[in-house]
Structure 1
């Protein structure tokens, strides 16, 4: 398929339905998925609603959801995070998102992110520009680290959290020394959407799942941001780190990341 734009109305309608459910329903009972990681009843309700809609509308395309896994073909899939930022949603914090991407092979080619409590919807299809509520958006033109506002992903939890957080803590410390402000919103999808809109100048996430990142990567790239993995190569669905940066800051932010990585391993 070459014209992914034709599928945007289907994706927008799926996300619209999900957002209505998110606004209408309280979180309900929580399901523990791991150390300090939960899913709400609404996560499951949205995933099932969106899966049913998309399988009906596009039966030739598979589906992968965060909570209940894949169904259908794998070469081309809808990839959904029903609530990115569940911890925020459960506490009534408005920094949460519905994130839906279309993935072809290992490349995300279409993305829709909605922030239901902030009345913002972001859309993009490959080679077709990025939009917020129907208006074209571009990544920021900030060129100095000292002027940059940078979002970082959540700290790790689980049995290996101490090891995994060495890099996160080193990166936070290095950014604190170099940039105007560091932010942690609790939603990677929101970070990438706000990067695309120019509200943030970089969004750095050090652990990846396809459902967290795919839609935001499409939107950020379509807005002109640079999105790479930890070695500076092109980011794809197999990347383990997402470094998304306004174009004029890319070199400086990547250098900051590598300086932090060296500090975290003691290789200075």
Structure 2
């Protein structure tokens, strides 16, 4: 099998095409995806163009896109979020980017994230380290929660949003009591990339969509992050949450998540 690193130039070529479109094109028409959620015309264009490009360059590798689902098959599968942080992009907030990862046997093994309005491109392949703009990166040495800056994912919208947000609000309250600062950027890919670079000390997302997580998990892991599911087992494609942190913080943040789950459950029962 081709080494993962040999696929990095192909992933970078695809990301460069998408990033150029983000810088040069407007979002275009918006399509409602459900309660308070939209996709832009450019989301669809990027996904279709990259699907076609990667099909031509790597026909043996399947593809999963956020907007139009799966195509192809095989042990390897590309996973794309054409614009991670669409709401930010539409409002001209620079916290958005393109996220392309590779999955092998349900495990993220390669990732490229480009933040076109911040001038940062993150790359990693399993066993090869993580880089930003060609320079090696690693997670911070932060070891105690009171010194940690922790990013959390967006609050839920759509079906059962109020139920899902009980846990998110409980977690926000729990973290506010313990960490130095809580941040919500609106982009899971950016959170994981900034964790890998040491700008953040943890990134907690109480969901697990492969297009959101694959590239960032691959990059953060290669930078030294520990990435867990809600029960403390190692993160996989099938995990229900994505808890990513410096190794010294992972257990402490897992305890915070579990405390928030207990609090949210108690509130629901009352």
Shorter-chain TM band: over 0.9
Cα deviation for residue 179 of structure 1 reads 0.5
Matches for 1:116-127 after TM superposition, within 5 Å: 116-127=116-127
Query: What is the CA–CA distance in structure 2 between the aligned matches of 1:12 and 1:230, rounded to whole Å?
Result: 32
Q: Secondary structure at the match of 2:113?
A: strand
Cα deviation for residue 75 of structure 1 reads 2.4
Query: What is the CA–CA distance in structure 2 between the aligned matches of 1:38 and 1:129, rounded to whole Å?
Result: 35
| Cα deviation digits, residues 54-90 of structure 1 (max 9, x gap) | 0011111111111111111142111100000000000
Q: Is the 8 A contact 2:85 2:96 kept in 1?
A: yes
Q: Secondary structure at the match of 2:27?
A: coil
Cα deviation for residue 122 of structure 1 reads 0.3
Q: Do residues 69 (structure 1) and 69 (structure 2) align?
A: yes
**1:154 matched to which residue of 2?**
154
Q: Is the 8 A contact 2:96 2:115 kept in 1?
A: yes
Q: Runs of 5+ in structure 2 lacking a partner?
A: none
Q: Do residues 43 (structure 1) and 35 (structure 2) align?
A: no
Query: What is the CA–CA distance in structure 2 between the aligned matches of 1:185 and 1:92, rounded to whole Å?
Result: 13
Query: What is the CA–CA distance in structure 2 between the aligned matches of 1:71 and 1:253, rounded to whole Å?
Result: 36
Cα RMSD, aligned residues only: 1.2
Query: What is the CA–CA distance in structure 1 between the aligned matches of 2:67 and 2:255, rounded to whole Å?
Result: 35
Cα deviation for residue 193 of structure 1 reads 0.2
| Cα deviation digits, residues 211-255 of structure 1 (max 9, x gap) | 000100000000000001100111111111000001111121111
TM-score normalised by length of structure 1: 0.98
Matches for 1:89-108 after TM superposition, within 5 Å: 89-108=89-108
Query: What is the CA–CA distance in structure 2 between the aligned matches of 1:240 and 1:212, rounded to whole Å?
Result: 13
Q: Is the 8 A contact 2:148 2:200 kept in 1?
A: yes
Cα deviation for residue 2 of structure 1 reads 5.8
In the alignment of these two chains, the number of paired residues is: 268
**1:193 matched to which residue of 2?**
193
TM-score normalised by length of structure 2: 0.97
Query: What is the CA–CA distance in structure 2 between the aligned matches of 1:48 and 1:28, rounded to whole Å?
Result: 15
Q: Runs of 5+ in structure 1 lacking a partner?
A: none
Cα deviation for residue 159 of structure 1 reads 2.6
Query: What is the CA–CA distance in structure 2 between the aligned matches of 1:181 and 1:2, rounded to whole Å?
Result: 42
**1:257 matched to which residue of 2?**
257
Q: Secondary structure at the match of 2:251?
A: helix
Structure 1 outlier segments of 4+, above 4 Å: none
Query: What is the CA–CA distance in structure 2 between the aligned matches of 1:254 and 1:74, rounded to whole Å?
Result: 34
**1:210 matched to which residue of 2?**
210
Q: Secondary structure at the match of 1:42?
A: helix
Query: What is the CA–CA distance in structure 2 between the aligned matches of 1:131 and 1:149, rounded to whole Å?
Result: 21
Query: What is the CA–CA distance in structure 2 between the aligned matches of 1:228 and 1:16, rounded to whole Å?
Result: 30
Between stretches 9-18 and 255-264, larger displacement belongs to 255-264
Query: What is the CA–CA distance in structure 2 between the aligned matches of 1:80 and 1:201, rounded to whole Å?
Result: 25
